[in-house]
Amino acid sequence: MEEMRDMAQSTLAVASAAVISLVLGDDNLLGEILLRLGFATDLVRAAAVCRRWLRAASDPVFLRRFRDLHPPRLHGFYIDSYPNPTLKRRFYAEFVPMQPQPPELAAVLRRGRFSLDTYDSQSTRVLDCRNGRVIVSLFCGGDFKRGVHSPLHPARDLVIFPQLPKKDVPDSDSYSSKIRIFYEILSKESVDGLSYFAVSLDYCVNEEKATTCVYRLQDNAWRMQTSATTQISGLQGSSLKQLSIFLAEDKIYMGITMHNILVLDLTSSTFSTIKFPDKMSFDGQIILSRANGAGIYLSHVKDLQLCIWLHMDCNGSIGDWLLVDTISLHDLCANLKISNSSTTEDGDDPDNGDDLDAYVHMVGGNAEYVFLEMDRYILYLDVRSRALHKVHTVTEKNTLISFIHPFMMTWPPVFPALQE
């Protein structure tokens, strides 16, 4: 009897192995199974099983399908802030993890080194976050140093950039004939990882000319890539309160004026402009963000109304903007019971929300999410689901938030190199 039971179990095991081999031996079925994994971290572990699974998981067509179904998740965000605007600015950067996190991503956060407090610095700023890398600026001993922090690789030290190219920094007072609008480090994804660019914009008030210089980091040295000048009238008096500057494909988009986006094409070293949507009022807050392909998003907030516009071909002609979404922040804030605390001093209903002010700090790629500040709360808005969440509370009364930098899951996944 026992022998018959053993034979039955053996037969069942052989049959099960045959069925499993039949399923996993079919590349199409294997791809469909891998497609149902929830996170890129799961995909990396599956790819370590064997070379065949690695080939299936790393196939570019499969990765595009996987990303469409499972977009990279937001691990958390860095907040740049300074304690009091009346004092000399001393920035500090704080990492805030998104909560709740699924167990797979919570484990990633526990293993990482996200804090920047271990670095010797009197003033710490995050300049950019992209694909698992954080560009930081540290001030110590009367000098700045900038470099790349890798939170997901705790053993790595800060990779210091060489000193930025020395330029004559103009005076910042209104009587100067030349002013510095910005000097930033931008990053761009490439086949070899990330490329880094130092970008400056200076404005000559007397001649009404803006000049941009772009340096690329190559062989641990900043090398001039391009320099271009364009005519802009009254830039000093028409700059946006919050500048939106980013690099996409081979173009640098600069949301620096109240009526136009300035675009520098790195391949041709030429400027062009994109007019803001004709139907959009020129007050309120404006911030730009990347779009997949040749396009940009513009988010505009006025009177607690968020409008999201998409510009696809970026040729600056009239009619290129499409209003893709309109969201009432008033209604969402009411659901969270957020009110301006100052209204209670006037005897008004603290829950009516009429006096709420929304400040937009960051809009994610493809305008998928928005970070706002309201009544000392940092809020995260998932644009697709219309879900608004409190993700951080600003506890210090005089602390001002300067900028928010999202830290996303790395994409594409870094797959293991299997031994022969």
pLDDT tens sequence across 87-109: 556 888 999 999 888 888 898 89
pLDDT band, residue 343 (cuts 50/70/90): very low
Q: At a CB cut-off of 8 Å and minimum separation 6, what does 55 contact?
A: none
Give the Cα separation of 380 and 75 in Å (integer).
13
pLDDT band, residue 342 (cuts 50/70/90): very low
Are the beta carbons of 271 and 278 closer than 8 angstroms? Answer: no
Q: Which of 5-9, 25-29, 78-82, 330-334 has the lowest mean pLDDT?
A: 5-9
- What does the pLDDT average to over 329-340? 79
> What integer pLDDT is reported at residue 260 of this predicted model?
87
Question: How much is the pTM?
Answer: 0.83
- What does the pLDDT average to over 183-198? 87
pLDDT band, residue 5 (cuts 50/70/90): low
Residue with the bigger pLDDT between 176 and 274: it is: 274
Angle at the Cα of 109 from the Cα atoms of 106 and 113, rounded to 5 degrees: 165
User: Given the structure tokens 């034979």, which residue do they identify?
Assistant: 7
**pLDDT tens column, 285-323:** 889 998 877 789 999 998 889 999 999 865 544 458 999
Q: Which DSSP letter does residue 177 get?
A: S
> What integer pLDDT is reported at residue 249 of this predicted model?
84
Residue-wise over 370-380: b if at least 16 C-beta within 10 A, else e?
A: bbbbbbbbbbb
Q: Which two tokens stand for residue 112?
A: 């990482």
Give the Cα separation of 212 and 229 in Å (integer).
6
> What integer pLDDT is reported at residue 176 of this predicted model?
53
The count of residues in the chain is 420
Q: At a CB cut-off of 8 Å and minimum separation 6, what does 107 contact?
A: none
Q: Where are the domains of the chain?
A: 1-68, 72-149+277-341+354-415, 161-275
Closest CA to 379 of 369, 368, 367, 365: 369
**Cα 381 to chain center, whole Å?**
14
Give the Cα separation of 338 and 278 in Å (integer).
32
> What integer pLDDT is reported at residue 418 of this predicted model?
62
- What does the pLDDT average to over 63-85? 88
Q: Which of 141-155, 194-208, 270-284 has the lowest mean pLDDT?
A: 270-284
Are the beta carbons of 384 and 375 closer than 8 angstroms? Answer: no
pLDDT band, residue 352 (cuts 50/70/90): very low
Which of 176-190, 233-247, 372-386 shows the highest mean pLDDT? 372-386
User: Given the structure tokens 């937009």, which residue do they identify?
Assistant: 360
Q: Which DSSP letter does residue 85 get?
A: T
Are the beta carbons of 251 and 212 closer than 8 angstroms? Answer: no
Closest CA to 132 of 418, 414, 417: 414
- pLDDT of 370 > 90? The answer is yes
Burial class (CB in 10 A: 0-12, 13-18, 19+), 326: exposed
Residue with the bigger pLDDT between 236 and 114: it is: 114
Are the beta carbons of 417 and 81 closer than 8 angstroms? Answer: no
Cα distances (Å, whole numbers) of residue 108 to 65, 114, 152, 278, 413: 24, 11, 8, 45, 14
Give the Cα separation of 278 and 19 in Å (integer).
62
Q: Which two tokens stand for residue 75?
A: 């691990």
User: Given the structure tokens 């931008």, which residue do they identify?
Assistant: 186
pLDDT band, residue 19 (cuts 50/70/90): very low
Long-range contact pairs involving 203-207 (C-beta distance under 8 Å, separation at least 24): 203/178, 203/179, 203/232, 203/235, 203/236, 204/177, 204/178, 205/176, 205/177, 205/178, 205/179, 205/236, 206/177
> What integer pLDDT is reported at residue 175 of this predicted model?
47
CA dihedral 254, 260, 264, 265 (to 10 degrees): 120
> What integer pLDDT is reported at residue 231 of this predicted model?
93
pLDDT band, residue 189 (cuts 50/70/90): confident
Residue 252's φ and ψ, nearest 5 degrees, are -105, 120
Cα distances (Å, whole numbers) of residue 155 to 47, 96, 114, 149: 24, 21, 12, 11
> What integer pLDDT is reported at residue 406 of this predicted model?
96
